[in-house]
Amino acid sequence: MPRLALVMIARDEARCIARCLDSVRPHVDAMIVLDTGSTDDTVEIARACGATVHHFAWCDDFAAARNAALDHSDADWNLILDADEWIEGDAQVLGSQSLPPAPAPARFVGCVRVVSQAGADQSAARKFSPRLLPRGVRYEGRIHELPVSPLPLTVLPLALRHDGFEEAQLARKAGRNEALLRAELETSPDDSYLWFQLGREHLVRGRAREAADALLTAHRIGTSDAAWRHGVVIATLQALKRAGRFEEGLAFADAEHGHWQRSPDFFFAVADLYLDYASHRPDIAMAELLPVVEGAWKRCLEIGERPDLDGSVEGCGSHLAAQNLAMFYETLGIDDDAQFYATMGARMRERLAA
C-alpha cells in the first residue's frame, strides 16, 4: 500500500502538467490524475510522466471532482496539487518521518505555502492551503473547496509555486468561478469565505466597485480570527482604492490599524491608498497625505518580511517598500535619501533571490 500519493484533477493543462508531475515524482509512491474532459494532450502527457489517469464527467462542482479523484487513492497520505503548481525547494517534509505510514495514527492535516505569480510586476502572493490529507479526508464546496476534518491544521515547511493567476490563464477561466461562487452563495449567503473569494474574483477581473462591495460584506459577516481575515482586509483596501472610494478606504484603514501592527502588507496597502488619494486632493497632499505615505512605507521596512502571513506579498516588507521610498524621494528632489533607499531595495531584492 502506498504511503504518499499525488492526487490531481486536471483539464486542458498540457501547458504545465509535466512541470508539476516532474517536480512531485521523486517524493511520492503514486501519481493519480483525474481528467475532467481535456481536449488537448493533457492525458497523454500525464501518462508519459508516469501518472495513472482516470476520467470524470465535469459537473460544476470542484469538491465532487476532488473526492472522485481521492476515491482512486489507497495511500496513507494524499498530496493535492493542481497542474499549474509545482514543488519548489526542499521537499524533505514529504518523507516518512513527517508523514508516517499506517498504522501510525494521522495527527494533522498539512498546510503548505503556495506562492502565486500575479500581475504585470509578477509580485508573489503567499497563502497557506491544506494540501496533505490523511486517508479518508474529503472535500466540501462547489468552488474554492476545502477539506473537512476534525484534525488540526499544521503548517509544514513545503513551498509550492503557482502561475494560474497570470493573465493568459485567467482569461481561460473567465466567468466560470464567478458563476460557481454565485450559485454557492444562493444556498450559503452568510458564508464570509465565499464573499471573500467573490471579491477576489472581481478584483483580478478589474471590477473594483463590485470587488469592494463583496469584500466589505465578507469583512462584516466574518470573524476576526478567520484564517483568511488578513487577506480580506488587504484586498478590501486595494478594492476601495481602485474604485476611487477614498473616504471609505481611509475610514476602513483607521478601523483596522490596531489589528495589523505586524503586517507590512497592511501598511503597504495604506501607503498605496493615501498616495492615490493625494493625486485627487493636491490641496492637502503635502501637509496631510504624503507624510502618511512616507511613514507607512518606512513602517513596512521596520516590520520586515512576513512570509507566515496568509495573503502576504513577497517584498512588501523589504525591496518593494524601499524602491517606493526611493521613487518618492526622487520625485521630491531629495537625492540623498532616494539613493539610500534605491541601494537598500536592490540589496534586499538580491537577498530574496539568493
C-beta separation of 4 from 99 below 8 A:
yes
3-state secondary structure of 53: strand
In this predicted model, what pLDDT tens digit does every residue of 168-202 receive, in sequence order? 666 666 678 889 999 999 999 999 999 999 999 99
DSSP 310-335: TT-BTTTTTHHHHHHHHHHHHHTT-H
Fold of the 4-168 domain: Spore Coat Polysaccharide Biosynthesis Protein SpsA; Chain A (3.90.550)
Task: Give the per-residue pLDDT at 174.
Answer: 65
Domain positions in the chain are 4-168, 176-353
Task: Give the per-residue pLDDT at 144.
Answer: 87
Question: pTM (2 decimals)?
Answer: 0.84
Tally of CB atoms within 10 A around 200: 25
**Could you say which DSSP state residue 214 is in?**
H
Q: Which residues of the chain have pLDDT under 50?
A: 120-122
C-beta separation of 196 from 221 below 8 A:
no
The whole-angstrom separation of Cα 220 and Cα 213 is 11
Task: Give the per-residue pLDDT at 127.
Answer: 85
In this predicted model, what pLDDT tens digit does every residue of 201-249 receive, in sequence order? 999 889 999 999 999 999 999 999 998 899 999 999 999 999 999 999 9
Task: Give the per-residue pLDDT at 121.
Answer: 46
CA 318 vs CA 113, 260, 294, 313: distances in Å: 19, 17, 14, 10
Fold of the 176-353 domain: 1.25.40
C-beta separation of 90 from 68 below 8 A:
no
